[in-house]
Amino acid sequence: MLNKYLVVDLFAGPGGLGEGFSAFRTKKSEYPFKIGLSIEKDVFAHNTLELRSFFRQFAANRAPQEYYRYIKGEITKEELFKKYPLQAKASSEEAWHAELGETPHGEVSSRIKNALNKEKKWVLIGGPPCQAYSVMGRVRIKAENPDNFEEDHRHFLYKEYLKIIRDHEPPVFVMENVKGILSSKIKGECIFDKILDDLSCPSKAFTDTEEQTGSNGNLKYNIYSLVKNKNGNNPYDNRDYVIKCENYGIPQRRHRVILLGIRSDLKVKPNLLYKSSDKINMWDVLKGMPKLRSGVTDMAKDSPENWKKAISKIRNYAWFKEKRVEVDLIKQMDRCLAKIKNSFNLGGEYISHNKAPSRYKTWFFDSKLDGVCNHTARKHIKKDLRRYFYAACFAREYLKSPEINDFPRVIWPDHENVLQASHGSMFTDRFRVQLKNKPSTTITCHISKDGHYFIHPDPIQCRSLTVREVARLQTFPDNYFFEGPRTSQYSQVGNAVPPLLAKKIAKIVYGIFKQFG
């Protein structure tokens, strides 16, 4: 029987990194990695994590029919777990609802020790919360509370990760964060340089006043890029740690910093990620999804007829009647308006459907699911519906997403920063269409606020992307069910590491373990 390498996942979110490691399969069709413990503070993300852990308690392709009945809303989770108590107990022990930095470190350390059970070959994975490091996150935090920006505790949550490295000495770790961490500064010091130094020598990162019990002062790590070899004895450029996901088979232009740490006593050298021979475009994984309509919020009744009527009123604007925009665009809008159907619905948490995507069919598709889950369209105000429709028609006609100055001024949103955008400053692409012939733009947790940056390319559906669609762009399998209200589902997906990228990283880590026997 294969001796599995254990995985401890910190700041796990819904489990994207862990899913990739769990899904990695060797040439002998063996699954060498097993999640020993995953820790997440958000209750809904933890619920997602626990459910997926339950799913993985069964052999590949052997999840029980009751799992799918739960996704379809036919039974409750309580009924599901009651039917399979051993698997439910194992998933509850594996997925721990706890907040690093708030839960006593001794308790965290004890849970990890018990999960590892003296196993020496294991990998620590995860990424501290990114809001304090992302460019937009820093802008927002400084705007809300500029005096306390440098004291924001999220800047230092990586030290919780560091304590676990110090105390448990994993042979390998994988740490992920946003690209903005490269430019983030605290008191004039580059936070990323500090993190690299601390990860290289974990015990020296803590002052005398901080707990040092049992720490190994000689513990050191070599930190590697996953996409670039080191040039002799020269240090990496910080940008060498950035992975551009679209170059590695992910249908999304997502750029993330990922560090691979190997304990210095292990004289091994990791392989690099292989670049994909071609780009995977967003439509390669979204084509064939059930067609939906968006809802409308500011009418007496949300119905297909009222939704269609709200969009069709775009014809009443003078710029449309008098053809003040290009004639080809007016014709495109006329053609699309004629095709809008009253038969479209809003979708749901489960919809029967049996069409697989054109790419990664075996990865996404599960015939036992016989449908898609988390596929509910948002509702929008009437004016936003017309903006979405205009933007999607513009993108279809010109193969690019419009900027604010491409919109007739009468349908500009009534926001202060729109005027700034019209003069060429930030937010010029306030309404962004995801283009069929390109990888999508970065799926972020901001999608939980509104869908303006994630407009579906089909004008006839006139909506933003659903949770399942952004989950596809993040490469979550279709049978991966996201728990909680829809805003939380969007946040979970936006914050996650694409599982398909994580699977490729798992292959590299597997190679490291095989090198040192």
Phi, psi of 387 (to 5 degrees): -65, -45
**pLDDT recorded at residue 187:** 81
CA dist 177 and 161 (Å) reads: 13
Q: What is the DSSP string of 207-242?
A: -TTS--TT--TT--EEEE-SS----TTSPPPGGGGE
List the domains of the chain with CATH numbers.
5-280+497-515 (3.40.50.150), 282-484 (no CATH)
Point out which residues pair with 125 in neighbouring strands. 9, 174
CB of 212 closer than 8 Å to CB of 203: yes
Q: Is pLDDT of 275 > 80?
A: yes
The answer to which of 40-49, 93-102, 140-149, 268-277 has the lowest mean pLDDT is 140-149
The two structure tokens encoding residue 398: 């010109």
CA dist 398 and 393 (Å) reads: 9
| Residue 143 pLDDT class (50, 70, 90 cuts) | low
| Residue 344 pLDDT class (50, 70, 90 cuts) | very high
CB of 292 closer than 8 Å to CB of 286: no
CA dist 442 and 426 (Å) reads: 17
Please tell me which residue, 215 or 333, carries the higher pLDDT value.
333
| Residue 429 pLDDT class (50, 70, 90 cuts) | confident
Closest CA to 21 of 213, 173, 234, 237: 173
Q: Which residues contact 465 (CB under 8 A, 6 or more apart)?
A: 434, 447, 451, 454, 455, 456, 473
Cα radius of gyration (the chain): 24
Q: Is pLDDT of 66 > 80?
A: yes
| Residue 138 pLDDT class (50, 70, 90 cuts) | very low
Q: What is the DSSP string of 317-366?
A: SHHHHTT-S-HHHHHHHHHHHHH--TT-B-EEEEEE--PPPSSSHHHH--
Q: List the alpha helices (DSSP H) in 402-456.
A: 416-422
CA dist 381 and 375 (Å) reads: 20
Q: Is pLDDT of 372 > 50?
A: yes
**How many angstroms from the chain centroid is the CA of residue 441?**
12
Give the mean model confidence (pLDDT) for residues 401-420: 81
**How many angstroms from the chain centroid is the CA of residue 316?**
40
Q: Which residues contact 381 (CB under 8 A, 6 or more apart)?
A: 296, 297, 298
**pLDDT recorded at residue 76:** 98
In three-state secondary structure terms, 16 is helix
DSSP label of 401:
P
The two structure tokens encoding residue 133: 């490091």
Give the mean model confidence (pLDDT) for residues 455-469: 98
The two structure tokens encoding residue 258: 């990922």
In three-state secondary structure terms, 411 is helix
Point out which residues pair with 365 in neighbouring strands. none
**pLDDT recorded at residue 212:** 53
Give the mean model confidence (pLDDT) for residues 195-218: 76
pLDDT digit string (tens) for 84-98?
999 999 999 999 999
CA dist 358 and 291 (Å) reads: 16
In three-state secondary structure terms, 53 is helix
The answer to which of 50-64, 105-119, 197-211, 283-297 has the lowest mean pLDDT is 197-211
Q: What is the DSSP string of 296-307?
A: ESSSSS--HHHH
Q: Is pLDDT of 391 > 50?
A: yes
Give the mean model confidence (pLDDT) for residues 57-80: 97
Q: Residue 487: how many CB atoms within 10 A of its CB?
A: 14
Closest CA to 404 of 392, 389, 419: 419
Q: Residue 246: how many CB atoms within 10 A of its CB?
A: 19
Q: Is pLDDT of 221 > 80?
A: yes
The two structure tokens encoding residue 274: 């292989």
**Exposure letters 333-356 (e unless 16+ CB within 10 A, then b):** beebbeebeeebebbbbbbeeeeb
Q: Is pLDDT of 359 > 70?
A: yes
CA dist 266 and 167 (Å) reads: 18
> What percentage of the chain reaches a pLDDT higher than 90?
80
CA dist 173 and 500 (Å) reads: 18
**pLDDT recorded at residue 215:** 63
In three-state secondary structure terms, 123 is strand
Phi, psi of 325 (to 5 degrees): -105, 170
Q: Is pLDDT of 305 > 70?
A: yes
pLDDT digit string (tens) for 10-28?
999 999 999 999 999 999 9
CA dist 483 and 311 (Å) reads: 32
Give the mean model confidence (pLDDT) for residues 480-505: 98
Q: Is pLDDT of 262 > 60?
A: yes
In three-state secondary structure terms, 421 is helix
**pLDDT recorded at residue 217:** 76
CB of 296 closer than 8 Å to CB of 463: no
Q: Is pLDDT of 153 > 60?
A: no
